[in-house]
Amino acid sequence: MIDRLLARLPHGSRAFAWTGILIGLLAFWVALPPLKIREPVVPAAIGLIAIALGVWAITQGVKRLGWGAIVIGLLGIGLGVLATRSSVAHLDQVVVWSALTAAMLRYATPLAFAAMGGIFSERSGVVNIGLEGMMLSGAFFGILGADKLGSWPLGLLCAAAAGAGFALIHAFFAIHLRADQIVGGTAINFLALGLTGYLFIDVYGGEGTPPDISDIPDVHLSFLESWYFIGPVLGQLNLMIWLAFLTIVATWLVLFKTPIGLRIRAVGEHPRAADTVGISVYKTRYVAVMLSGILAALGGAYLSIGFVNSFNQNMTVGRGFIALAAVIFGNWRPWGAAAAVFLFGFSSALAQRLPAYSESAAVLFQALPYVLTLIAVAGVIGRSIPPASVGRPYQKQ
């Protein structure tokens, strides 16, 4: 087991490039709490090591990673020197690693659910830009169910049903009617926005959702409390955050370790071949799309009854699209998408704390996930290869 893991680690020049990337990050890190080195020379020197490693890797033919190390090294120098110039009080206020990590998990959770859903759908060959709408429907019907039926598990159930319902519409139009999947997804987004907004006003009116709605509980792990760093991060997380971890692992297991996953991937890569060996393309795609709707809706329900405990019109504000970005960023793989989700979650968590420095710069920071994704799809960081038949309707013969 350990041998196999070691064998997957990068070798030779690639290892040097990766080391360069890590050292580049270190250049920034030393200037932050807890070390808080105040000499600008230190991050500059460490960053130069990273750049040197990157240059060496490039001369050895490892171009992309080498450039990565150089860029990270430059960023590490720039940000590290900046950090040494800023006041210690500010640094202590903004960079609290445990709080940042906990916030990262909170922001990443809705994205993680939706991104795993997106992977199921797109791996089966159906583009799902309706994730945003399915998430929004989950947020609304989750809180509606929890309010009217009186308990959060029923709220989650309602959310899942709503997500599945919207996904069914999308699936029917995309699979049976062979409509353009992107147009269909756009329609789902409009429909969900209109329907949830309409029902929200109709049911709750101007006052908004009541404050005493049954919400998803936190999981208290009191034995962790005294542990350094882990205690404050993991000691009191919402149940849905743990479920999000579980969902990521389960997505990987289902997609890559079970026959069902093999079928889903086959249908997304080469539906004709899958059909020939007796896999029902339509059925598999229906299941995958519905699953994606359920997962996206659960992510939305976490937003409304796990995170903020209220609902507002269009409260997802583009989170479904960030999840979609994470799917692409992660190259349609569960672990890759999970990494992207945590990166995006971290940038949101940081954006919440940056106003200590500058209100307006913190706003600009919100654009970061989108810029990163744009760079990723532009082919700068490796090429993103979608499933071969994604977006193509299949016609049975």
Partner 1 sequence: MSEPGAPTPPEGGGKVENPRTGGDYAPSVARRYALAQRAGGIVVPLLTVILAFLIGGVVVFATTGSNPISTYKAIFEGAGLNWFVEIGSYELRLPFTDIHVPFPWNVDDIESTAAFNLQQTLINFVPLVLTGLAVGFAFRCGLFNIGGQGQYLAGAVIAVWVGSELPGLPGLVHILAAVVAGALVGALWAGIAGFLKAKVGTHEVISTIMLNWIAIWVGVFLFGLGGPLQNDTQPFVPVSNDILDESKLGILWGDPVLQALHVGFFVALAALVVYWIALNRTTLGYEVRAVGYSPEAARYGGISVARNYFLAMAISGLFAGLAGAIDIVGWAYRINTNDVMISSQIAFVGIAVALLGRNKAIGIGLSALLFASLVTGTSTRNLDPEIFRPELASNLTLLIQGLVVLFVGADVLILSLLGLRRRRRRAAAEAVSE
Residues that bind partner 1 (CB under 8 A): 129, 169, 173, 177-180, 182-184, 186-195, 197-199, 201-202, 206, 313, 317-318, 321, 324-325, 328, 358-361, 363-364, 366-367, 370-371, 373-374, 377-379, 383, 386
CB of 372 to partner 1, least distance (A): 9
Contacts of 332 (CB under 8 A, 6+ apart): 119, 122, 123, 384, 385, 386, 387
Q: How far apart are CA 171 and CA 167, in angstroms?
A: 6
Residue 314: helix, strand or coil by DSSP? coil
Asked if residues 99 and 33 have their Cβ atoms less than 8 Å apart, the reply is no
Closer to partner 1 at the Cβ: 77 or 129?
129
Residues in Cβ contact with 358 at an 8 Å cutoff, skipping those fewer than 6 apart? none
- Give the DSSP H/E element, type plus range, for residue 236: strand 236-238
What is the spatial distance between Cα 84 and Cα 37, in angstroms, rounded to a whole number? 7
Least separation in angstroms between CB 256 and partner 1: 24
Three-state DSSP class for residue 120: helix
Least distance CB 178 / partner 1 (angstroms)? 6
Taking the least distance from each CB to partner 1, the nearer of 252 and 321 is 321
Longest alpha-carbon distance in the chain: 71
Asked if 298 and 106 touch (Cβ cutoff 8 Å), the reply is no
Nearer to partner 1, 283 or 383 (CB): 383
Q: Which is nearer to partner 1, 41 or 361 (CB)?
A: 361
Beta carbons within 10 angstroms of residue 231's beta carbon: 16
Q: Of the two residues 178 and 220, which places its CB atom closer to partner 1 in the complex?
A: 178
Least distance (Å) between residue 285 CB and partner 1: 16
| Residue 196 Cβ vs partner 1, minimum distance, rounded to whole Å | 8
**Between 129 and 264, CB nearer to partner 1:** 129
In the complex, what is the shortest distance from the CB of residue 199 to partner 1, in angstroms, rounded to a whole number? 7
Cα–Cα distance between 118 and 124 in angstroms, integer? 10
CA distance 116 to 306: 19
Nearer Cβ to partner 1 (108/136): 136
Kindly state the smallest distance separating residue 369's Cβ from partner 1, in Å: 8
